[in-house]
């Protein structure tokens, strides 16, 4: 019973490089979320999805793109990484609105 799995767990990027973070959930959840958490701060919502094929902007969407081509996967892309995007990224999913959200283990990204 994997729950929410994030790939990779760690990554170091050079400024200007691109990468994609993968979030996979095996609970058949409709809602999926991407957050970033900077040291000593709370989680900030980047993008979210309320179902396959849908995406929407959260609190801090600039510099990121997302896709939800399959219900179980939610991809977060950085087209041109910047040092300000150094953070821990968390993915989450929930079965419906207002339901308990389940989080992945996080991806620690460093942009140098």
Q: Is 5 in the site for another protein (CB under 8 A)?
A: no
Window of 13-21, 28-36, 60-68, 74-82 that interacts with another protein by CB under 8 A: 28-36
Nearest distance, CB of residue 28 and another protein, angstroms: 17
Specify burial of residue 83 (Cβ count, 10 A radius: 0-12, 13-18, 19+).
exposed
Q: Which of 36, 46, 104, 111 binds another protein (CB under 8 A)?
A: 104
Residues in contact with 46: Cβ distance below 8 Å, sequence separation at least 6, in sequence order = 34, 35, 36, 58, 59, 60, 61, 64, 66, 76, 89
Please pick, from the candidates 19, 22, 43, 60, the single residue that binds another protein as defined by CB under 8 A: 43
């Amino acid at each position: 019973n994997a729950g929410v799995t994030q790939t990779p767990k760690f990554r170091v990027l050079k400024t200007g490089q691109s990468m994609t973070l993968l979030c996979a959930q095996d609970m058949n959840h409709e809602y999926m979320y991407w957050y970033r958490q900077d040291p000593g701060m709370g989680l900030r919502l980047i993008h979210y999805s309320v179902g396959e094929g849908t995406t929407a902007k959260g609190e801090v969407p600039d510099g990121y793109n997302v896709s939800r081509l399959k219900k179980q996967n939610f991809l977060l892309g950085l087209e041109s990484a910047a040092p300000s995007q150094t953070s821990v990224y968390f993915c989450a999913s929930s079965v419906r609105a207002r339901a308990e959200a389940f989080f992945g283990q996080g991806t620690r990204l460093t942009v140098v």
